[in-house]
């Protein structure tokens, strides 16, 4: 076990490069974990309106994958420090599997994004009929409209089919009070944008941040695999 004399300098370079790569991978994995957790908590108020578990499912996968990445980075450091070929081989295989998982997840998210939006439209329209009769639906709509400053699916006119326009559609004025938009609804005192458009952008922004970070981590993982493979071949 160890390097031959002529490979000492090159071997040490590869060894410490693997350490650095794994440190960056660990930081990246921890960042993806925090961002995924933040996304799950931050968008929990509109769960009932999405009509699909694809987005939350993808975030949960990234959450678990980020934990695996942190553990793998530790394994890579141990394998490099102890110069154990078995650990390095295990590290290479597991990192390759995680990398493929992240790649497939990104492709699926891109392919199904339009389908998700169509599902959201159908679910949001059907849930409007339950506003006021189901507490979870009512809270989801009110919190979504208040936090994202939107109203209805495509426009506030969508509420006309189901009764009075919710107070959560009303723009706030000074003192936290709301204008009487449920009695005299006009475009001046109601949120003008539909919640489908705003929600879609909201999810895309969150997904873009997580996706960009994940891509960055995946690129560093490639270097981790390269250095582990080189180090594996150098150890006698």
Q: What is the crossing angle of helices 8-42 and 195-234, to 10°?
A: 160
> Residue 211 domain-assigned?
yes
For the stretch 129-156, pLDDT in tens is 888 888 888 888 888 888 888 888 888 8
d(CA 49, CA 137): 8
> Residue 121 domain-assigned?
yes
> Residue 1 domain-assigned?
no
Q: How distant, in Å, are the alpha carbons of 43, 110, 122 from that of 100?
A: 27, 16, 33
H helix and E strand count, the chain: 7, 0
CA angle 88, 1, 87 (to 5 degrees): 15
pLDDT at 4 over 60: no
The answer, as to whether pTM is greater than 0.85, is no
Does residue 210 or residue 223 have the better pLDDT? 223
What is the structure's pLDDT at 5?
A: 43
For the stretch 48-106, pLDDT in tens is 676 556 666 777 777 888 888 888 888 888 877 777 778 888 888 888 888 887 777 66
> Residue 55 domain-assigned?
yes
Both tokens of residue 82? Answer: 């102890």
Looking at the 3D structure of the chain, how many domains does it have? 1
Q: Percentage of the chain surpassing pLDDT 70? A: 75
Q: What is the dihedral of CA 9, 15, 18, 22, to 10 degrees?
A: -140
- Is the CB of residue 193 less than 8 Å from the CB of residue 64? no
Which structural domain, as residue segments, surrounds residue 200? 9-128+136-234
pLDDT at 191 over 80: yes
> Residue 2 domain-assigned?
no
> Residue 4 domain-assigned?
no
């Amino acid at each position: 076990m160890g390097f031959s004399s002529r490979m000492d300098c090159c071997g040490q370079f590869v060894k410490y490069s693997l350490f650095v790569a794994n440190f960056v991978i660990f930081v990246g994995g921890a960042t993806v974990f925090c961002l995924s957790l933040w996304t799950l908590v931050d968008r929990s108020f509109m769960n009932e309106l999405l009509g699909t578990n694809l987005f939350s499912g993808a975030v949960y996968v990234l959450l678990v994958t980020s934990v695996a990445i942190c553990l793998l980075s530790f394994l890579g450091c141990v394998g490099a420090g102890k110069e154990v070929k078995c650990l390095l081989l295990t590290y290479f295989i597991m990192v390759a599997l995680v990398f493929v998982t992240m790649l497939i997840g990104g492709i699926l998210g891109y392919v199904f994004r339009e389908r998700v939006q169509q599902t959201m439209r159908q679910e949001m329209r059907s849930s409007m009929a339950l506003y006021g009769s189901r507490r979870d639906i009512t809270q989801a709509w009110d919190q979504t409209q208040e936090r994202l400053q939107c109203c209805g699916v495509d426009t506030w006119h969508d509420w006309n089919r189901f009764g009075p326009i919710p107070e959560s559609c009303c723009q706030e004025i000074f003192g936290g009070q709301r204008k009487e938009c449920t009695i005299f609804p006009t475009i001046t005192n109601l949120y003008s944008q539909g919640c489908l458009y705003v929600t879609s952008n909201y999810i895309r922004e969150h997904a873009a941040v997580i996706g960009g970070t994940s891509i960055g981590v995946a690129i560093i993982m490639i270097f981790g695999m390269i250095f582990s493979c080189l180090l594996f071949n150098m150890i006698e």
